[in-house]
């Protein structure tokens, strides 16, 4: 009876949160839709597959432009039965999300016999905004989360039983088909299986745990084969087209392919730091009060062999993502690249609460834990000290290498957190976890009156904070749906009615425009047109070489993203339709998208004798320093000077010259090697009458222009 009560509560509470998002969607967006254009990309493939055109973007042109084959199959099967699009996506998202909650509750009972603790553990994740957002986003987030929970559940049920090893390996392979980052998830569980059998001396496993583990690994590999065979048949490679389009010339795979030692060094040092560090930050981002219990459980999990696999999975999967495909970081894109790991937070919560109840064991571990956390806290303070002094030590030869390559790339334009400096958040997260470990072993206990009040207060404060987060996310979700419906969806419908059927249309967003437009499209981002990726690596200006080979009849693009194309094809003079959004948080491009007819005659007359059109795609051999800054801009990571420059421009627009001057001086202290920055600085200081500063800016601008960084 109690189990049913807790299960009902575990489903009822997130259901209210889902209803909140849907209510805002009806109120703000006025019509159902998706908050991301990527969801419509899945539907382009699903509809083509369901209507007999195979796995293709343009019918008759096989391509694997989806990172989740399994989600496409789910949508395609649903479309055959219902012919519904938006509602069926949300239906499956909610179903998979609800099943994930129930499975997580059951998994938590493996580590705590108290249903109340299991319920609190699940509640801390069931109200996580990224998971609720993902359930209604039309993306594969809920499916991947469900498969992670299901795989973990059957792994725990089958662990140590040599005769039962069928379901967990199969589900582990399906996890990979849902999200490629999960390729390593089941192998990590196999390590856990091996350790568990050895620790418990399971008789049924025989004299050695190795045969059981190898049998399960073999089954896992067998069920992976269809995925790789299908991928190779479509793309001629074991990787989908989206991998090259997003990773571009970054990551360890690209570095090995091209023998680039510089990128190899980046992939093995900076990228794991950014992804691994930001997954730690995620604990704080989700809920700073409940993060106490998550961090406590994370610490205690490292001390037990039975639970060691959970913190390893929580940290290693993002770290390996950073090594292989370093696009963004763990907190970017509304945490959707790591949301499927959030059920592990429930396990950390349960383990952390159990640790708070076991005061005697905690006291025995106190001495060793304090020593390790002393080292960890000291390392965090030293790293923070160096990070914040890097503008001062930048001229010192000892720190020049670190200052020039590593530290600028750790600073993020963390607009989601509303913090200009990612370093502060990372250092705070490390110190927070160290502090949690110390507090958890200092005698506090939920069995004592004082400890009970403290932890009850943390739970209540966390719940109130979560309600505020959900209200904020609801508004953002609804506004994102409205943005996509007003721009991409409307452009797709406009294209369907106004552009001839045999036309070739070059587009930037390849989801809703293609789905509703039903015209043959050329993808300028390379997600479904892999031939453009080499030109994309060379730089935006080289796009004209690729476009010259295909000569699209129309363009539907953000003009701010393709200034060269707009200029040489005179798109501004051939605008047929334009949409401008007042409040844009999802569409991109500054909220302005145009449909235009290119002027190929002007293009030919301008570039026919330039020799540019004869350039073949190649991999540019850039200097180590230059590649760092290129990688930063692609990943959304900005050097500190760029952050302060943006704040200076914003203050300048608000007619606050003193505030702008303060930000510009901070930006200049990083000695940026960009002449455009100094030309703008020159104009600003001349405008406010600062002749000395203007002269200095002029000299730096000329220096950067004559001796640009290579």
- Reported as a pLDDT band with limits 50, 70 and 90, residue 206 is very low
pLDDT at 49: 92
Q: Which residue has the tokens 């007042």?
A: 582
- pLDDT at residue 464, as a whole number: 86
Q: What is the mean pLDDT of residues 353-374?
A: 58
Q: Calculate mean pLDDT across residues 614-641.
A: 53
How crowded is residue 445: how many other Cβ atoms within 10 Å of its Cβ? 19
pLDDT at 3 over 70: no
Among the ranges given (109-118, 330-339, 701-710), the one the predictor scored with the smallest mean pLDDT: 701-710
Q: Is the pLDDT of residue 36 over 60?
A: yes
Average pLDDT on 116-120 reads: 85
Mean pLDDT of 441-451: 61
pLDDT at 379: 62
> Terminal CA-to-CA distance of the chain, rounded, Å?
70
Of the two residues 358 and 533, the one the predictor is more confident about is 533
Q: Which of 148-152, 431-435, 547-551 has the highest mean pLDDT?
A: 148-152
Is the pLDDT assigned to residue 372 strictly greater than 80? Answer: no
Give yes or no for a contact between 41 and 511, defined as CB atoms under 8 angstroms apart. yes
pLDDT value, residue 418: 34
Q: Using CA atoms, how far apart are residues 49 and 460, in angstroms rounded to an integer?
A: 48
Out of 268-282, 296-310, 512-526, 626-640, pick the least confident. Answer: 626-640
Please, which pLDDT band fits residue 710 given cuts at 50, 70 and 90?
very low
What is the pLDDT, as a whole number, of residue 438?
Answer: 58
Taking residues 668-676, what's their average pLDDT? 75
DSSP 60: T
Q: In sequence order, which residues have a C-beta less than 8 Å from that of residue 590 and are 6 or more positions away?
A: 558, 560, 584
Q: What is the pLDDT of residue 417?
A: 31
Q: What pLDDT does 259 receive?
A: 74
**Residue 236: pLDDT band by 50, 70, 90 thresholds?**
confident
pLDDT of residue 288: 81
Question: What band does 392 get if pLDDT is binned at 50, 70 and 90?
Answer: very low
- Contact indicator for 399, 390 with CB cutoff of 8 Å: yes
- CA gap 79, 46 in Å, rounded: 8
Segment among 308-312, 317-321, 422-426, 657-661 with least mean pLDDT: 422-426
Residue 328 has pLDDT above 50, yes or no: yes
Q: What is the pLDDT at residue 141?
A: 93
Q: What's residue 45's pLDDT?
A: 93
Average pLDDT over residues 507-532: 89
* Among 416-430, 536-550, 635-649, the least confident range: 416-430
| pLDDT on residue 373 | 58
Tell me the mean pLDDT in the region 532-547.
76
Residue 396 has pLDDT above 60, yes or no: no
Q: Can you give the pLDDT at residue 566?
A: 85
Query: So what's the pLDDT on residue 618?
Result: 61
pLDDT of residue 90: 92
Q: Answer with the residue of higher pLDDT: 570 or 410.
A: 570
For residues 473-480, give the mean pLDDT.
87
Tell me the average pLDDT across 519-532.
Answer: 87
pTM of the entire structure?
A: 0.80
pLDDT confidence bin for 394, thresholds 50/70/90: very low
- Mean pLDDT across 489-494: 94
Does residue 281 surpass a pLDDT of 70?
Answer: yes
Is the pLDDT assigned to residue 622 strictly greater than 60? no
Question: HSE on the CB side for 501, CA within 13 Å?
Answer: 0
**Integer Cα distance of 323 and 305 in angstroms:** 26
| pLDDT at site 6 | 66
* CA–CA distance, 302 with 375 (Å, rounded to integer): 16
Cβ neighbours of 683 (radius 10 Å): 11
More confident residue, 424 or 324: 324
Q: Which of 175-189, 246-260, 483-497 shows the lowest mean pLDDT across its residues?
A: 246-260
What is the reported pLDDT for 305?
79
Grade residue 601 by pLDDT with cuts at 50, 70 and 90.
confident
- 624 has pLDDT over 60: no
Decide which of 343 and 159 is more confident: 343
When pLDDT is averaged across residues 608-628 and rounded to a whole number, the result is 57
Give the model's confidence band at 408: pLDDT under 50 very low, under 70 low, under 90 confident, else very high. Answer: very low
pLDDT at 71 > cutoff 90: yes
* Among the ranges given (14-18, 109-113, 541-545), the one the predictor scored with the smallest mean pLDDT: 541-545
Q: What is the pLDDT of residue 2?
A: 56
Please give the average per-residue pLDDT across 633-644, as a whole number.
57
pLDDT cut 70: percent of the chain above it: 76
Secondary structure in 3-state letters for 258-315: HCCHHHHHHHHCHHHHHHHHHHHHHHHHHCCCCHHHHHHHHHHHCCCCCCCHHHHHHH
Q: What pLDDT sits at residue 686?
A: 82
In this predicted model, what pLDDT tens digit does every residue of 496-510 receive, in sequence order? 999 998 999 999 888
| Residue 314 · residue 433 · CB < 8 Å | no
Give yes or no for a contact between 534 and 245, defined as CB atoms under 8 angstroms apart: no
Looking at residue 369, its pLDDT comes to: 55
pLDDT score of 205 more than 50: no
Nearest residue to 291 via CA among 141, 439, 446: 439
| Cβ atoms within 10 Å, residue 671 | 13
Of 131-140, 257-266, 411-420, which range is least confident?
A: 411-420
pLDDT at 565: 84
The whole-chain average pLDDT of the chain stands at: 78
Evaluate whether 158 touches 167 at the Cβ level (below 8 Å). yes
- DSSP string covering 546-610, please? HHHHH--SEEEE-TTT-HHHHHHTTGGGGEEEEEE-SS-SSS-GGGEEEEE---HHHHHHHHTTT
Across 47-75, average pLDDT: 89
């Amino acid at each position: 009876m109690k189990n049913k009560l807790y299960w009902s509560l575990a489903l009822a509470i997130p259901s209210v949160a889902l209803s909140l998002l849907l209510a805002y969607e009806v109120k703000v967006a006025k019509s159902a839709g998706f908050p991301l254009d990527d969801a419509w990309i899945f539907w382009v493939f699903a509809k083509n597959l369901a209507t007999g055109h195979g796995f293709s973007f343009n019918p008759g042109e096989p391509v694997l432009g989806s990172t989740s084959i399994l989600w496409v199959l789910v949508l395609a099967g649903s479309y055959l039965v219902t012919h519904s699009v938006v509602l069926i996506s949300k239906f499956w998202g909610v179903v998979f999300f609800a099943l994930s909650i129930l499975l997580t509750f059951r998994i938590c009972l493996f580590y705590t016999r108290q249903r109340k603790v299991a319920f609190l553990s699940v509640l801390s994740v069931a109200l996580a905004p990224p998971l609720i957002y993902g359930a209604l986003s039309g993306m594969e987030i809920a499916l991947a989360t469900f498969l992670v929970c299901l795989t973990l559940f059957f792994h725990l049920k089958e662990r140590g039983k040599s005769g039962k090893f069928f379901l967990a390996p199969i589900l582990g392979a399906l996890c990979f088909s849902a999200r490629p980052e999960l390729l390593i998830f089941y192998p990590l569980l196999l390590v856990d299986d091996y350790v568990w059998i050895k620790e418990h001396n399971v008789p049924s496993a025989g004299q050695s745990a190795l045969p059981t583990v190898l049998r399960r690994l073999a089954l896992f590999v067998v069920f992976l084969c269809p995925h790789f065979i299908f991928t190779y048949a479509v793309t001629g490679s074991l990787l989908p087209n989206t991998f090259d389009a997003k990773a571009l010339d970054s990551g360890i795979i690209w570095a090995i392919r091209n023998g680039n030692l510089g990128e190899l060094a980046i992939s093995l040092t900076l990228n794991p730091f950014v992804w691994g560090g930001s997954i730690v930050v995620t604990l704080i981002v989700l809920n700073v009060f409940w993060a106490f219990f998550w961090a406590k459980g994370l610490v205690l999990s490292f001390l037990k062999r039975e639970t060691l696999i959970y913190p390893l999975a929580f940290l290693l999967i993002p770290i390996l993502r950073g090594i292989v495909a370093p696009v963004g970081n763990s907190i970017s894109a509304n945490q959707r690249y790591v949301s499927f790991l959030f059920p592990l937070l429930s396990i950390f919560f349960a383990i952390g609460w159990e640790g708070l109840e076991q005061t005697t064991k905690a006291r025995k571990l106190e001495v060793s834990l304090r020593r390790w956390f002393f080292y960890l806290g000291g390392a965090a303070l030293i790293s923070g000290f160096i990070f914040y002094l890097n503008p001062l030590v930048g001229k010192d030869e000892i720190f020049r290498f670190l200052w020039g390559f590593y530290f600028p790339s750790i600073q993020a334009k963390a607009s989601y957190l509303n913090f200009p400096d990612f370093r502060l958040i990372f250092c705070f997260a490390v110190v927070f976890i160290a502090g949690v470990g110390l507090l958890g072993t200092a005698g506090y206990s939920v069995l004592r009156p004082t400890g009970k009040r403290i932890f009850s207060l943390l739970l209540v404060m966390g719940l109130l904070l979560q309600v505020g987060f959900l209200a904020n996310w609801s508004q953002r979700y609804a506004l994102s749906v409205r943005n996509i419906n007003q721009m991409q969806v409307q452009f797709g419908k406009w294209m369907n009615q106004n552009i001839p059927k045999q036309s070739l249309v070059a587009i930037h967003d390849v989801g809703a425009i293609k789905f509703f437009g039903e015209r043959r499209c050329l993808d300028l981002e390379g997600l479904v047109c892999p031939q453009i990726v080499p030109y994309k690596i060379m730089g935006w200006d080289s796009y004209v070489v690729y476009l010259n080979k295909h000569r699209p009849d129309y363009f539907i693009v953000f003009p701010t993203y393709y200034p060269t194309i707009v200029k040489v094809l005179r798109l501004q003079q051939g605008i047929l339709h334009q949409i401008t959004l007042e409040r844009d948080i999802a569409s991109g491009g500054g909220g302005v998208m145009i449909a235009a007819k290119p002027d190929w005659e002007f293009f030919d007359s301008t570039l026919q004798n330039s020799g540019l059109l004869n350039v073949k795609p190649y991999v540019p051999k850039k200097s180590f320093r230059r590649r760092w800054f290129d990688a930063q801009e692609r990943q959304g990571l900005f050097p500190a000077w760029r952050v302060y420059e943006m704040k200076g421009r914003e203050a300048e627009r608000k007619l606050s010259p003193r505030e702008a001057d303060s930000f510009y001086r901070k930006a200049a202290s990083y000695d940026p090697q960009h002449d455009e920055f100094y030309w703008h600085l020159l104009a600003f200081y001349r405008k406010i009458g600062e002749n000395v500063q203007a002269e200095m800016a002029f000299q730096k601008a000329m220096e950067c222009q004559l001796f640009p960084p290579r």
